[in-house]
Every structure is written in structure tokens, then in C-alpha cells.
Amino acid sequence: KNQVEQSPQSLIILEGKNCTLQCNYTVSPFSNLRWYKQDTGRGPVSLTIMTFSENTKSNGRYTATLDADTKQSSLHITASQLSDSASYICVVSVSNRDDKIIFGKGTRLHILP
């Protein structure tokens, strides 16, 4: 069964600290993996996208990694800011005629001043 599992469910860190969010998936055949940021009351916004051949992608203070062999991805946030408080959603696309997109339930990140 195609699934995307994220951990932790929620995370609280102090402003300025780094953190890493995890995503494990059992999706086949794999097309790509995206990380989205969803601010409270808003729609998700794409942060990064990685295909099978890519193992790291950066977007400012956000760095995503992908290990296609172990089917794991991580999102590392450096020098966190209050504006990083949001939900982070891992999304994996299936590469077949159905073009399915599997969403994780997200990690809720709280940055404290």
C-alpha cells in the first residue's frame, strides 16, 4: 500500500536552533518527492521537489535530502525563525497511469522566541 509517514507529529524548538523533520514512504513506482510548508489558515506552498536521481535540494534555510534506496527523506531547517512556525507536509508522487499523489499528515513545527 502506498503510504507516507512523517515524524515527529509535532516539534517545538527555540528561535535560532536547527531542526530536522523526517519522511518515510512506501510508494512505488516513485516519481518525485516534495516538501510543502503550510502556514495556519493558508494553503500549502512548495519548498522543494526531488526526483529519483537527486539526493539533496536547498531552498534558502531549507535543505531536503532523499535516500531512494531506504525510501527516506528529511527536511533540515537551519537557524529557525518565528516565521518557520507552520506544518510541513511530505508529498510523494506515483509514476504510473493513475498519477497518484500521496500526502503525509505533516509535522507541526512551533518556533518559540
Partner 1 sequence: NAGVTQTPKFRVLKTGQSMTLLCAQDMNHEYMYWYRQDPGMGLRLIHYSVGEGTTAKGEVPDGYNVSRLKKQNFLLGLESAAPSQTSVYFCASSLRYGTQYFGPGTRLLVL
Stretch that binds partner 1, among 21-29, 30-38, 63-71, 74-82 (CB under 8 A): 30-38
Q: Is residue 53 near partner 1 by the rule CB under 8 A?
A: no
Cβ 58 vs Cβ 66: under 8 Å: no
Report d(CA 88, CA 35) in Å as an integer: 7
Does residue 106 bind partner 1 (CB under 8 A)? yes
Minimum Å gap between C-beta 99 and partner 1 is 7
Q: Report the nearest approach of partner 1 to the CB of residue 36 (Å).
A: 8
Instruction: Please report how close the Cβ of residue 18 comes to partner 1 at its closest, in angstroms.
Output: 25
Site size with partner 1, rule: CB under 8 A: 20
User: Across-strand partners of 46?
Assistant: 36
Q: Which regions of 9-104 does DSSP assign to beta strands (E)? A: 10-14, 19-25, 30-38, 45-51, 56-59, 62-67, 72-77, 86-94, 101-103
Is 46 a binder of partner 1 (CB under 8 A)?
yes
Alpha carbon separation from 31 to 55, 89, 109 (Å, rounded) = 14, 17, 27
Chain contacts with partner 1 (rule: CB under 8 A): 31-32, 34, 41-46, 49, 89, 91, 93, 95, 99, 101, 103-106
